[in-house]
Amino acid sequence: MRRKIAVIGAGVVGLSTAVCIAESLPDCSVTVISEKFSPDTTSDVAAGILIPKMFPETPLQLQKSWFKTTFDYLLGISKSHNASDAGVHMLFGWHLFKEIPSEEYPFWHDVVMGFRPMTDEELAQFPGYKFGQAFMTMKCECTFYLPWMVKRLKSAGGQIQKEKVTDFWDLHGKYDLVVNCTGIGSRELAGDMQLYPMRGLAVQVRAPWLKHFVRVSDGQTYMYPGRETVTLGGTTEKDNWSLKVDPITSQEVFERCCNLEPSLRKCEVVHDWVGLRPTRASVRLEKEVLKRGEDQLTVIHNYGHSGCGISIHWGTAWDATQLVKECVIVSRMALKAKM
């Protein structure tokens, strides 16, 4: 009997988890349920650069494993015929610091390519910055990547369903297992008060001459070239739930980026976006068994990726899939024992 699995959420974490499950467990039926799909997800607003942040309550080796798994996976796509359709490519650039950091080599330095301190000649391009890191990483543009993942899911036999889930128990009896990838929605759906929004605003511009990324260490200023546009950012506003674009803030973001890269003053502004990063001290990736009377419902949680969901999405999707596999095996063994 085919096990029916529901994955709630259609952002980069939800779709990657669904694809990973569908391709790893072809004898299971996978359905993605979400109120919003691309281009209306938080992931669509993401800059899409693979540079992880540090979660204070997640073991560092686990974070590095998630990042390396994701980096290697996207690197493989970037070298395949799917690269353009998936919106995945390699990107070289610089990470700037006003002061020399205590750790010049972050935990992920040996995962990206060619990591090194910036030369004096490179730093001279950015007055006021005392130190910098140069490296090659991956860029994954979700406006292309998410539709491509939906096609991949369907090719693996998965389905999609547009619906808002307000209670896990609404899926009880319809599905054997639920995977929760609702991001900031888990604050209400899972009752997780440790989860909060970190509002981010990004500006999309056309500047085809820009071939490298530039990022300031405070996370407030960055520019990441993509397939068709350049993403300029940004903001980090804790506990701000507003999805309304503030023109004044957009202009401030644009000005900061122009100060770093004056050539941007002649670019065409396409539009600006706002997204709510689902932030907590650690990614929640675990199994929970909900109970209501004599009924039980198993939920695998995979959310809380903050501003680096794209940086670690395939790594966490893989680990979530292993939890699903364990549940399916236990369920089948229990069924055999009854026969």
Residue with tokens 């009896």, as numbered in its chain: 173
pLDDT of residue 218: 84
d(CA 285, CA 278) in angstroms, rounded, equals: 14
pLDDT of residue 43: 95
pLDDT of residue 103: 86
pLDDT in tens, 111-131: 999 999 999 999 999 999 999
d(CA 76, CA 116) in angstroms, rounded, equals: 23
pLDDT of residue 329: 86
pLDDT at 188 over 80: yes
Phi-psi region of 86 (alpha: psi -120 to 50; beta: other; left: phi over 0): alpha
pLDDT of residue 330: 79
3-state secondary structure the chain: CCEEEEEECCCHHHHHHHHHHHHHCCCEEEEEEECCCCCCCHHHHCCCECCCCCCCCCCHHHHHHHHHHHHHHHHHHHCCCCHHHHCEEEEEEEEEECCCCCCCCCCCCCCCEEEEECCHHHHCCCCCCCEEEEEEEEEECHHHHHHHHHHHHHHCCCEEEECCCCCHHHHECCECEEEECCHHHHHHHCCCCCCEEEEEEEEEEECCCCCCEEEECCCCCEEEECCCCEEEECCCEECCCCCCCCHHHHHHHHHHHHHHCHHHHHCEEEEEEEEEEEECCCCEEEEEEEEECCEEEEEEEEECCHHHHHHHHHHHHHHHHHHHHHHHHHHHHHHHHHC
Classify each residue of 122-140 as buried b or exposed e, where b means 16 or more C-beta atoms within 10 Å of its C-beta.
ebeebeebebbbbbebbbb
List CB contacts of 290: < 8 A, sequence separation 6 or more: 168, 169, 296, 297, 298, 299
Q: Is 101 exposed, middle or buried (0-12, 13-18, 19+ CB in 10 A)?
A: middle
pLDDT of residue 220: 84
pLDDT at 334 over 90: no
d(CA 223, CA 208) in angstroms, rounded, equals: 12
Q: Is the pTM of this model over 0.85?
A: yes
pLDDT of residue 302: 98
pLDDT at 5 over 70: yes
d(CA 196, CA 259) in angstroms, rounded, equals: 31
Under the banding of pLDDT at 50, 70 and 90, the label for residue 331 is confident
pLDDT at 338 over 80: no
Tell me what the mean pLDDT of segment 43-65 comes to. Answer: 94
pLDDT of residue 6: 98
Tell me what the mean pLDDT of segment 127-148 comes to. Answer: 97
| Residue of 129, 145, 166 whose CA lies nearest to 83 | 145
Please give the CATH topology (third level) of the domain spanning 3-92+140-195+280-338: Rossmann fold (3.40.50)
pLDDT of residue 160: 98
pLDDT in tens, 280-313: 999 999 999 999 999 999 999 999 999 999 999 9
pLDDT of residue 86: 97
pLDDT in tens, 235-245: 999 999 999 99
Tell me what the mean pLDDT of segment 310-334 comes to. Answer: 91
Under the banding of pLDDT at 50, 70 and 90, the label for residue 336 is low
d(CA 329, CA 335) in angstroms, rounded, equals: 10
Mean pLDDT of the chain: 95
pLDDT of residue 219: 79
∠ CA 305-156-226, nearest 5°, is: 50
Other Cβ atoms less than 10 A from the Cβ of 85: the count is 14
pLDDT at 332 over 80: no
Between β-strands 88-97 and 131-140, what pairing exists: parallel, antiparallel or unpaired? antiparallel
